[in-house]
Structure 1
Amino acid sequence: MQQYRRMLGLPGVRALMVLMLFARIPLAATSMVFTLLVAVGLGGSYGAAGLVGAASLVGVAVGAPLMGHVVDRFGLRPMVLLATLCEGGFWLSARFMSYPVLLGTAFFGGLLALPTMSIARQAIAAMVPEELRRTAFSLDSISVELSYMVGPAVAVLLATQLSPQAATTALGCSVLVVGLLIVAFNPRVRADHERADTERIPRKEWLTPRFIGVLLVGGGAVFVLAGTDVTMVAALRESGQLDWTGLLVIVICTASAAGGLVHGAVRRSLPQVVLMGLMGLLTIPAAFFIGEWWLLALALVPSSALCAPTIATTGEEVARLAPVSMRGAATGLQSSAFTLGASLGAPTIGFVVDHTSPAWGFAAAGVGGVLVAVVAALAGRSSRRTGPLGTADSVEAADGQHQAEVAKP
């Protein structure tokens, strides 16, 4: 655990990790609150709730890079204040909205949402030196797992014990509190030696095929996760074991957290593309273990253990490849990739399950992950041949220098 002790001993990092753990709980509860508000509070269908959630996700995908651009140009605090007021206002007023109004405003609620994921990644890149970033991003991924275990559960508790409208009000208040705490803490998004680096770099110079491949892998990992979640519920429902869903979720989240813990402790790990390919490949065998919930849980442990490492490596690669002056926009694009992966994974694999069986759902999610890894590997290879400077030699030299730096004790 020496790597974790060194990383958490850095100035401000321990406080950042605790703050971002709680800051992401409202985000984790968003989808559940939308579902409960529409399906229970407004008496609508689950399909109608899905439309509202989809509109919000599209807004998040579009808004995250824009919010990152605001950080790059004007700093973190102005963006956080803007997003906190807009998102907090949306959730505090959502209880008074009819369904058409809620559907029409959900996109803007997502567009101007507080990008807690991007904020955490920018702060880690600024506050943690490169040799400890794997550890920091791994701990951050574990924090995300914990947030998604707490957020939806609290939303259900509030909605069932009080009302769905009470859950929206609580979510709005939570966003305001979280935003004000971030403003007060004001984590650095530039290291001391990076503050003078304000040169605006054209997007075509850093948004290379290699960078796009990194985003593709990150989105692919979430695609597999979303598809696995849908298929898991379908499999348990088919076998009459739906009551065990919560325990199964805890098992796979624990496996992911354990994988992230190991990933952050080692000095060298597998490349991002390899982790993604293995994650997809190890999801496929779950198709043969859908009879009993505990067998399915054991079958999903190997692929789940690679979830947090894949997500952590994505953040690490984005921080390494993105120019300092464009870090906000780059981490925003990473959030967009994750959002799009979730938006595509659930309906795509759900369609497969509806027209075949849960077994094919696991197979399709796994094959999709492997295909994403292959495409990303090809994109990375193409980028190495041409490179951002137009010559293969320059890129090979840069890669060699980076590998030498990573290998330093």
Structure 2
Amino acid sequence: MQLYRRTLALPGVRTLLVLVFFARIPATAAGMALTLHIAVTMDRGYGAAGTVGAVATIGIALGAPVLGRVVDRYGLRPMLVITTIGEATFWVFARFMSYPLLLVCGFLGGMLVLPAMSIGRQAIAALVPTDLRRTAYSMDSVSTELSFMVGPAAAVVVATQFSTQTALVAMAVGIAVVGTALFVMNPAVRSEAEKASTERIPRRVWLTPRLVGVLLVGAGAVFILAGTEVAIVAQMQHSGELSWTSVVVIVWSAGSAVGGLVYGALARSYRQVTLMAWLGVLTIPIGLAGGSWWSLMLVLLPAAFLCAPTIAATGEEVARLAPPAARGEATGLQSSAFTLGAAVGAPSVGFVVDHASPGWGFALAGVGGVLVAALAWLLAARQRDRAPAGTAVEPGTRAGSVS
């Protein structure tokens, strides 16, 4: 636990982790609030709700790197003003919008989503020295797991106990509160030493095959997580134990959190591509469990332990490979990778489940992860092979690895 004590003793780290945890809750509740409003209150069905979600996802994926670049050039506060006003405005007026208008505004609102997760990762890179970043990013991954346990549940409670319109207004209030809190705190996104350097490095220089591989691993990890979530629900419904789904998902998330805590306490980092490959391999046979909810829960745990470590390793690598002057854009690309991974994983596995069985859904999620790990390894090997003889390897990087 010494690494955790050292990390939490750093100035500003405790406050940052607490603030970012609460800032992520509206983001994790957004999808559930919008889905319930469209599918239930507007009576348009879950397909229509999913379409708006997909359009918003495209907006988020396109907007995240742009917002990151705003942070790189103008600082955090201008970006917070734009996103806080923009996203809060969407949630205020969403309850009055027709379905076609929601489709259009969902895309625009997605582009202006307050990037709480990117802000947290940037601030960690600025506040935490390199030797403690693995621990800090592990805590950040655990915090993300906890926010996903709180956010959607809170949206369901407000929507069912009051109304979905109330839930949408609560989203607007939540965004306004966390945006204001972040504006007041204004966490550093560059260290004092990094602020002294004003050199701008072209994107083609820092967006290397190795970094692209890291982003692919991030997308692949979320592909597995999103696909696994769909397969869990399908498996529970197939076995007639749908009411136990929340218990299985909570234990799955808790296993990921435990894995993140263990990873953060380790003395050294593990290769990101290796973590990704094992996550995929351990996901493939989950569907063989069948039977009752508790057997599925137990079989999920080995893969669950690797979820948070894989995500944490992605954040650590992006912070190391991206130059400080472009870190905002790089973390924005990371967020886009996560978003696209979820956007592809859930419908792909859902299609397989609909036309085959839940077991094949787990298999597809796992195989997809293994293939992404292989592609990331090839990209890193390609960069190594292209490097001129005598070129120094990046600090902390093993030749031929993504991490």
Report the TM-score when normalising by structure 2. Answer: 0.97
Tell me which residue corresponds to 1:190: 190
- Aligned-pair CA distance for 1:402: 2.9
71-80 vs 266-275, which moves further: 266-275
Tell me which residue corresponds to 1:118: 118
Structure 2 residue 393 is the aligned partner of structure 1 residue 393: no
Residues 85 and 176 of structure 1 are in contact (CA less than 8 Å); yes or no, is this contact kept in structure 2? yes
In structure 2, relative to structure 1, the CA distance for the partners of 1:403 and 1:353 (3 Å cut) is closer
Residues 279 and 303 of structure 1 are in contact (CA less than 8 Å); yes or no, is this contact kept in structure 2? yes
- Aligned-pair CA distance for 1:47: 0.1
Tell me which residue corresponds to 1:273: 273
Tell me which residue corresponds to 1:131: 131
- Aligned-pair CA distance for 1:290: 2.1
Amino acid at match of 2:68: G
Tell me which residue corresponds to 2:238: 238
Structure 2 residue 81 is the aligned partner of structure 1 residue 81: yes
Tell me which residue corresponds to 2:144: 144
Residues 259 and 309 of structure 1 are in contact (CA less than 8 Å); yes or no, is this contact kept in structure 2? yes
Tell me which residue corresponds to 1:378: 378
- Aligned-pair CA distance for 1:151: 0.3
Residues 50-89 of structure 1: pairs in structure 2 closer than 5 A: 50-89=50-89
1:71-109 Cα offsets, whole Å, 9 max, x none, are 000000010111000001100111111111111110000
Q: Distance in 1 between matches of 2:97 and 2:389?
A: 57
Q: Distance in 1 between matches of 2:397 and 2:35?
A: 46
Tell me which residue corresponds to 1:154: 154
Amino acid at match of 1:376: A
User: Structure 2: any 5+ residue segments left out of the alignment?
Assistant: 399-403
1:343-389 Cα offsets, whole Å, 9 max, x none, are 000011111111111111111111111111011001111111224xx
Q: Distance in 2 between matches of 1:403 and 1:66?
A: 28
2:390 is paired with a residue of what secondary structure? helix
Amino acid at match of 1:215: L
Q: Distance in 1 between matches of 2:151 and 2:124?
A: 23
- Aligned-pair CA distance for 1:392: 4.3
Q: Distance in 2 between matches of 1:199 and 1:329?
A: 15
Q: Distance in 2 between matches of 1:65 and 1:269?
A: 27
Q: Distance in 2 between matches of 1:392 and 1:94?
A: 58
Q: Distance in 2 between matches of 1:329 and 1:403?
A: 22
Amino acid at match of 1:66: V
195-204 vs 46-55, which moves further: 195-204
Structure 2 residue 39 is the aligned partner of structure 1 residue 42: no
Q: Distance in 2 between matches of 1:43 and 1:88?
A: 24
Q: How many residues align?
A: 398
Tell me which residue corresponds to 1:356: 356
Tell me which residue corresponds to 2:396: 402
Q: Distance in 2 between matches of 1:368 and 1:323?
A: 30
Q: Distance in 1 between matches of 2:277 and 2:192?
A: 37
Q: Distance in 1 between matches of 2:390 and 2:110?
A: 43
282-291 vs 114-123, which moves further: 282-291
Residues 59 and 110 of structure 1 are in contact (CA less than 8 Å); yes or no, is this contact kept in structure 2? yes
Tell me which residue corresponds to 1:407: none
Residues 257-406 of structure 1: pairs in structure 2 closer than 5 A: 257-387=257-387, 391-394=388-391, 397-399=392-394, 401-402=395-396
Report the TM-score when normalising by structure 1. Answer: 0.96
Q: Distance in 2 between matches of 1:320 and 1:104?
A: 37
1:189 is paired with a residue of what secondary structure? coil
Structure 2 residue 209 is the aligned partner of structure 1 residue 225: no
Q: Distance in 2 between matches of 1:194 and 1:3?
A: 24
1:194-237 Cα offsets, whole Å, 9 max, x none, are 00222121111011111000000000000000110111101100
Tell me which residue corresponds to 2:401: none
Q: Distance in 1 between matches of 2:321 and 2:335?
A: 16
Q: Distance in 2 between matches of 1:355 and 1:403?
A: 43
User: Structure 1: any 5+ residue segments left out of the alignment?
Assistant: 405-409
- Aligned-pair CA distance for 1:10: 0.3
Aligned-residue CA RMSD (Å):
1.0
Q: Distance in 2 between matches of 1:383 and 1:350?
A: 35
Residues 134 and 312 of structure 1 are in contact (CA less than 8 Å); yes or no, is this contact kept in structure 2? yes
1:288-317 Cα offsets, whole Å, 9 max, x none, are 102211100110101011000000000000
Q: Distance in 1 between matches of 2:37 and 2:251?
A: 28
1:393 is paired with a residue of what secondary structure? coil
Amino acid at match of 1:109: G
Q: Distance in 2 between matches of 1:95 and 1:184?
A: 29
Q: Distance in 2 between matches of 1:290 and 1:222?
A: 23
Tell me which residue corresponds to 1:16: 16
Residues 140 and 312 of structure 1 are in contact (CA less than 8 Å); yes or no, is this contact kept in structure 2? yes
1:96 is paired with a residue of what secondary structure? coil
Residues 386 and 392 of structure 1 are in contact (CA less than 8 Å); yes or no, is this contact kept in structure 2? no
Q: Distance in 2 between matches of 1:315 and 1:89?
A: 30
